[in-house]
Amino acid sequence: MESKFFTFFMEFMIKDWFASIPITICSILTVAVVIERYLYYQKNRRDVSAFIHQLQRELERGQLQAAQATCSRLGGVVGEVAEEGVRLMAEQKEDFSKAFDITVGLVTRKLEKNLAILGTIGATCPFIGLFGTVVGVVFTLDQLGVGGGGTPVVVTGVAKALIATGYGLVVAIMAVIFNNTYTNTVKRFDDDFLLLKLLFLSFVGTEQARASR
């Protein structure tokens, strides 16, 4: 059974190149994006619990330089956003919220890079496979009409044609799974950014209240 499936698959890859090549390209792109994003997220993953408490204590003491140094030591995109937030607190208290949102937006673009590729592959690959199946069934029926044959010929032809749909579905499922997983990862980063924003806004509001007295 396995050898027959492998034979059908190789026939599909060679004969139905109009479907097999696009799906194979999609599979390569999926693997490349999955690995690249995984390495990027692992590189920037940080535990912000202790960092937030330390940053809060330094801001309460008004030690902005120490706070920036703490952010720099944390590193990653969270440290980058936090360090920029401390700078904005000192220089743009009036428009802090908008300026900080711009910073977060630019970093979020980095986090979401290439995820659209996974989404597109997940949406289109099943249709490419279905197209290959439809063409395969048409060729099978054409051969049946020209040369005759019975049920075994039809069943074998349809089985070979369905390889295309199966291949497309496998690639699409993997793309969708990782796209959803990485989208949730980006959301967790966004939650960290929101926590930082709330922390900064509390101190910006305190400083503005003191200045207005």
Q: How far apart are CA 213 and CA 205, in angstroms?
A: 13
Contact partners, residue 144, CB within 8 Å, separation at least 6: 153, 154, 157
Query: Which of 25, 30, 20 has its CA nearest to residue 131?
Result: 20
The full set of domain ranges for the chain reads: 2-206
DSSP state of 131: H
Contact partners, residue 57, CB within 8 Å, separation at least 6: none
pLDDT band at 211 (very low <50, low <70, confident <90, very high): low
What value does the mean pLDDT take over residues 97-112?
93
Tens of pLDDT, residue by residue over 53-104, are 999 999 888 888 899 999 999 999 999 999 999 998 888 777 888 999 999 9
pLDDT band at 40 (very low <50, low <70, confident <90, very high): very high
In angstroms, what CA-CA distances link 14 with 26, 31, 90? 17, 22, 64
